[in-house]
A and B are shown apart, each in its own frame.
Chain A
Amino acid sequence: MMAAPSSPPARGAQRAVALVAAVASSLLLLFLAVPIGKLIGAGGLDGVRQLFSDGELRQALGLTAFTATAATLLGVLGGTPLAWLLARRDFHGRAVLAAVLDLPLLIPHPVAGIALLLLLGRESAVGGALLAAGLRVVGTPLGIIAAMLFVAAPLFISGAREAFARVEPRYEAVARTLGDSPLRAFLRITLPMSRRGLIASAVVMWARAVSEFGAIVVLTYNPKVASVLSYDRFTSFGLREALPVAAVLAVLALIPLIALRTLRGADDGART
């Protein structure tokens, strides 16, 4: 602490900055953690108990996990090449494309639901074709997946783009000079080196998908995902019935988040 022989006023300024930083970050930490802690404290036990007695709750949680995972897989599948393109290739309209991909984050979620309805409803070309093929989107789990994909995929794409950008292009270039095809260079060099960033982005996307409500409820109200069920319980029975649903969702969502963080922690340890 005392090592740096700086002049007294500079040390005072440093101390002031450190103090402000400490206060600001502590306040933010409390602001983020206390509501969740209160939610889990108020409804967590009841929620876990209800897991055993409440079939509708189990169903909603299962549906949420399934649809969020499906949406995330689709997002990773389509988003990875897009993110790579944005990070690595300089092409006409790249800035516009990047902005367009951020747009779903800006649109209010019920509006996003309506936009999807116009694309996927039975009167639209796409929705009509899907329906003819026996795939109904509106009012089914497919609608939930579509809503989740729309609102959450931009988070994966921008995270993956950052992850790719952090990998030195030189390594890819070296692999190419040694005879690798672009795909092979990507699979052997870029992908492993950006793996942690990609996983983290996928986790963020999954978490965002789990929490979505506004766009989902426009497309598919029944069957109900956990967010819709908690709204439904709140409206029909009040806070006491809604808290356990919300709390158990928070608790269960924590499990994959912690697991992945732990994995990454172990990974970090192995690297150093």
Chain B
Amino acid sequence: MKRILVVAAVVAAACGGSRAESSAASVLVVFNAGSLARPLRAALDSFAARDKVEIQQENAGSLETARKLTELGKVPDIIALADEEVFPQLLMPAHVTWYARFAHNRMVLAYTARSRFAAEITPDNWWKVVVRDGVETGRSDPQLDPNGYRTLLVLQLAERHYGQPGLAVRLLRAMPDRNVRPKETDLVGLLEAGELDYIWSYESMARALGLKYVRLPDAIDLSSPADFASYATASVKVRGRGVDSVTFRGRPIVYAFSVPTHAPHREVAERFASWLASADGRRVLRAQGLDALDSVSVVGTGAPAGIAR
């Protein structure tokens, strides 16, 4: 009997101890697009160091991230995606009422020093290099990942920009299904292992990972708000539910985040959101290679006052 009492006392003490601890540090749950993993990690770390917050970060493709809310009922405190369009398409109004655009990006062709023809490739000849024999180029799945359908859009824009009828089809043939992976971050390992010579990626990722990359002309890399109209002339159809299909038009790449309506730790989330939109937050993101906007712009209603300025 005495032994049981001792065990009970130890267990109670342990429970009490851990409860006291967990209330001291608040929690911030963040779901983000794969390409935001590093810049957000850095931002979260410097926020957590200041505010004594425990961070729980989940990285996945933008669409997969949205599905966690819509299908699995998992609600984070912060959701940050690589395509602002996913918010109105999947998450508004049931899960979020606003989103804040906070960064730009551009499509690039990333490679390493070991890639075939690494010494020769330039912004002018890349489209001739990737179709050469023995060159393997990877892309992500257009069904799952914005980078995947953006790659297809870039190929169309390239065909027009270089005045080469049929170029998009030839380029796509040089990146067959076997070189596809679910999201662009999955391609990096294959590139580094030498399995692929070039991968379609974002400038921010290539910079953060220290990869070499071909910077494409503004007219095709989906970076420039000024080219909005010409980007929109490119479009890809992606299979939708059942027999339906979804059409994506070309538009400048804009990253956005939000605090879901039912965020479990709303107060911390809004503090982090305001901090991310501040000059301090911007500096951390930029240090990680992400092209943070000079000021965030909010779409929708209900954003905390600290963000919508």
Contacts and interface: CB of A to CB of B under 8 A. Distances in A.
B161 to A, nearest CB: 29
Contact of B193 (A117, A139, A232, A234): A117
A121 B180 CA distance: 15
A138 B186 CA distance: 14
A218 B63 CA distance: 19
Interface in A83-136: 114, 117-118, 121-123, 136
Nearest to A238: B71
A114 B179 CA distance: 15
Interface in B93-147: 114, 136, 141, 143-144
Contact of A237 (B176, B179, B193, B240): B240
Nearest to B90: A238
Nearest to B142: A236
Contacts of B189: 114, 117, 218
A67 B241 CA distance: 28
Nearest to A223: B177
Interface in A221-272: 221-223, 231-232, 234-239, 241
Interface residues of A, number: 25
A194 interface: no
Contacts of B177: 139, 222-223
B61 interface: yes
A136 to B, nearest CB: 8
Interface string A136-173: 10111000000000000000000000000000000000
Contacts of B3: none
A220 B195 contact: no
A217 interface: yes
B72 interface: yes
Given A117-B189, A139-B179, A239-B71, A232 B141 contact: yes
B241 A123 contact: no
Given A117-B190, A234-B67, A238-B70, A217 B182 contact: yes
B194 interface: yes
Contact of A235 (B61, B193, B239, B240): B61
Given A118-B193, A139-B178, A221-B181, A234 B186 contact: no
Interface in A34-61: none
Interface string B139-164: 00101100000000000000000000
B179 A232 contact: no
A121 B195 CA distance: 6
A227 to B, nearest CB: 12
A235 B194 contact: no
Contact of A122 (B70, B182, B195, B240): B195
B64 interface: yes
B194 A123 contact: yes
B155 to A, nearest CB: 18
13 contacts: A121-B190, A136-B178, A217-B181, A218-B189, A222-B178, A222-B180, A223-B177, A235-B63, A235-B67, A235-B143, A236-B63, A236-B144, A237-B240
